[in-house]
């Protein structure tokens, strides 16, 4: 028999990137008395990993819980980028409602639409929170209408359209139900959550069932499965069985050694948990996302969201450059393999396959950002490896080659519109929609093949002088659109191994743009710059000036070197061609030719 558990609410906070989800969770934690009066806490406390803090984005969904009056509110902070959409789809299975955060100036953005669509498909009730109402240019009334238009566009039912609106400034920790009068604290939002988000329901006395929606990892206790208790109550030291709806062969007897619930930012050990609780289960070897942990006598698997397929792939291989093993802690193929396969434990949208070579692995993900975050994380952990140019994964549908498509939404000042339309046109993009946006900006919507976007982000920033905003979202597969021209410049390649010297660089910079300054170790076949024209050129950056005993006025003037263009990891991945690799070590990112020896390289290109 179903009963309601009134002392718990489970919510997810969803929004477009940068609309203030994580800051909002901060305030809910602060104002619910989760922290001690004198506790020092950093901002955006939920973004716990270094990369999240540096880039100001959420990559992994996080669980937390606050207490308000007599109710425990379990909150899940979700990522906003399309590349991490797999995270959002899963965690929505754990909650009974969502708080949709929308920026009072920007209004609904592509990702707002994506996450809201997922929530409406699961028939979850929504609370709309219009955030940043105190920022200059905020337009809460208009944004409220835009949000309702979005609900209608996504076929929301009557009940969903009646969603309550809360107006907030998460930064200042205030919320209100009236857009013209800001409150003093977050209480209006807490009250709205209690009133509009249904309490979890379930059979308290039935055999227990927990669906694992996320995986956490702890160095001491290993893998931790996080999920919601759907039925019955789960206790520590209980015998259980693990099953999976998509893998009928899985029938594994397990024992629940440790059970945790979330309190604030911590996991608290508990002896048992009831229906509606979000729990973390430790001590189960090989637990995966989508598994159901259930009563040993009643093995029933719960249905799970099908995870979206990867759209982009790269080859990760062991570093074999002349400088291999000098800077990294983990350099062997076994260490690389173990680390990549460990990533599968926590990231379900990634796919790793072995190749013909024992030293190379094909890694597929949801987008460039998804894979570059993995590369950066591994680099910081002390891994040394090489990656190839990102390539798009095609699918054969009805005997025809289909490729992944993206919808790109671009907000740019009107003066840059022509350039953007022209550049994207060359990349096989089609303009679908064009509207007058706010403050002299125009909004352009394109449909473009995913491979057309590889390498466009940094070019877009240059073209719009940093004023443009670009958002993408996956849009299914469509027939192959034909060839897309790649970069028109060749590479400047180091001619010998040594250390770069100002004299050699001075001569080389006449040929194009350099990526390195003086005093940098280089090796034969390493790429040190971009040629101003087509084709590759070998340059000798280690060349010293011949010393003579003749003195002439003017011949010994100081050499003027242009500052080098230092490429970030993303720019390096965008720059390389198919015969080039990016070498990644904890200290350096270098670009190189696959074949370092110039004679062999020329022979290979002739044979091609």
What tokens does 463 get? Answer: 């073209």
The answer to whether 543 is annotated as binding is: no
What tokens does 283 get? Answer: 């001590």
The answer to whether 311 is annotated as binding is: no
CB 244 within 8 Å of CB 250: yes
SS3 at position 343: helix
The answer to whether 10 is annotated as binding is: no
Q: Where are the beta strands (DSSP E) in 143-287?
A: 165-169, 174-176, 201-203, 209-218, 222-231, 234-235, 239-244, 252-255, 258-263, 266-269, 272-273, 278-282
The answer to whether 131 is annotated as binding is: yes
SS3 at position 405: strand
Q: Which residue in 485, 525, 493 sits closest to 512, CA to CA?
A: 493
Cα–Cα distance measured from residue 15 to residue 103, given in angstroms and rounded to the nearest whole number: 9
The answer to whether 497 is annotated as binding is: no
Q: Which residue in 222, 104, 105, 110 sits closest to 165, CA to CA?
A: 104
CB 327 within 8 Å of CB 585: yes
User: What is the 8-class DSSP label of residue 410?
Assistant: E
Cα–Cα distance measured from residue 531 to residue 493, given in angstroms and rounded to the nearest whole number: 9
Cα–Cα distance measured from residue 364 to residue 312, given in angstroms and rounded to the nearest whole number: 6
Cα–Cα distance measured from residue 398 to residue 286, given in angstroms and rounded to the nearest whole number: 37
The answer to whether 126 is annotated as binding is: no
CA angle (411 as vertex; 407, 414 as ends), nearest 5: 130
Query: Do the strands 512-514 and 491-494 form a parallel or antiparallel pair, or are they unpaired?
Result: unpaired
The answer to whether 18 is annotated as binding is: yes
Cβ atoms within 10 Å of 1's Cβ, excluding its own: 7
What tokens does 477 get? Answer: 């597969």
The answer to whether 64 is annotated as binding is: no
Cβ atoms within 10 Å of 448's Cβ, excluding its own: 24
Binding residues for GTP: 18-23, 131-134
Binding residues: 18-23, 131-134
């Amino acid at each position: 028999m179903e009963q309601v558990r009134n002392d718990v609410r489970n919510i997810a906070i969803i929004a477009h990137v940068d609309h203030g989800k994580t800051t909002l969770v901060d305030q809910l934690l602060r104002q619910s008395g989760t922290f001690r009066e004198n506790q020092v806490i950093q901002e955006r406390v939920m973004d716990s990993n270094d990369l999240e803090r540096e880039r100001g984005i959420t990559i992994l969904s996080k669980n937390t819980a606050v207490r308000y009056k007599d109710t425990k509110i379990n909150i899940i902070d979700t990522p906003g980028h399309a590349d991490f959409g797999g995270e959002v789809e899963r965690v929505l299975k754990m909650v009974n409602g969502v708080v949709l955060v929308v920026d009072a100036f920007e209004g609904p953005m592509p990702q707002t639409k994506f996450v809201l669509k997922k929530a409406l498909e699961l028939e979850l009730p929504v609370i709309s929170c219009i955030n940043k109402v105190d920022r200059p240019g905020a337009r809460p009334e208009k944004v409220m209408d835009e949000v309702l238009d979005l609900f209608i566009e996504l076929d929301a039912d009557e009940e969903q359209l009646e969603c309550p609106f809360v107006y907030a400034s998460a930064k200042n920790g205030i919320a209100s139900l009236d857009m013209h009068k800001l409150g003093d604290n977050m209480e209006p939002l807490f009250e709205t959550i209690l009133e509009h988000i249904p309490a979890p329901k379930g059979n308290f006395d039935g055999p227990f069932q927990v669906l694992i929606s996320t995986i956490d990892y702890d160095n001491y206790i290993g893998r931790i499965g996080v999920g919601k208790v759907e039925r019955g109550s789960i206790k520590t030291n209980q015998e259980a069985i693990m099953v999976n709806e998509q893998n009928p062969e899985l029938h594994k007897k397990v024992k629940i050694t440790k059970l945790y619930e979330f309190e604030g930012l911590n996991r608290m050990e508990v002896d048992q948990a009831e229906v509606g609780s979000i729990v973390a289960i430790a001590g189960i070897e090989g637990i995966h996302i989508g598994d159901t942990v259930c009563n040993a006598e009643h093995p029933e698997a719960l249905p799970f969201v099908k995870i979206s397929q990867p759209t982009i792939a790269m080859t990760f291989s062991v570093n074999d450059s002349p400088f291999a093993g000098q800077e990294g802690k983990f350099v062997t193929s076994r260490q690389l393999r173990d680390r990549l396969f460990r990533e599968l434990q926590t990231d379900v949208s990634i796919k790793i396959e072995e190749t013909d070579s024992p030293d190379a692995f094909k890694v597929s993900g949801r987008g460039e950002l998804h894979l570059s975050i993995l590369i950066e994380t591994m680099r910081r952990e002390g891994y040394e490896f090489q990656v190839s140019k990102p390539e798009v994964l095609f699918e054969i549908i009805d005997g025809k080659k289909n490729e992944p498509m993206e919808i790109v939404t671009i907000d740019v000042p009107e003066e840059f519109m022509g350039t953007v339309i022209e550049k994207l046109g060359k990349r096989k993009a089609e303009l679908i929609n064009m509207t007058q946006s706010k403050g002299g900006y125009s909004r352009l919507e394109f449909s473009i093949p995913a491979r057309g976007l590889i390498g466009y982000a940094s070019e877009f920033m240059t073209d719009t002088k940093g004023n443009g905003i670009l958002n993408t979202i996956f849009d299914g597969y469509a027939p192959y659109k034909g060839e897309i021209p790649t970069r028109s410049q060749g590479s400047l390649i180091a001619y010998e191994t040594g250390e770069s010297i100002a004299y050699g660089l001075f001569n080389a910079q006449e040929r194009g743009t350099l990526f390195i300054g003086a005093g940098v170790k280089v090796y034969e076949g390493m790429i040190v710059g971009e040629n101003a024209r087509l084709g590759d050129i070998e340059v000798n950056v280690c060349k010293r000036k011949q010393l003579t005993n003749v003195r002439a006025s003017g011949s010994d003037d100081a050499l003027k070197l242009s500052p080098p263009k230092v490429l970030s990891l993303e720019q390096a991945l965008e720059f390389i061609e198919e015969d080039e690799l990016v070498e990644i070590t904890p200290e350096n990112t270098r670009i190189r030719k696959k074949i370092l020896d110039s004679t062999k390289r020329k022979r290979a290109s002739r044979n091609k």
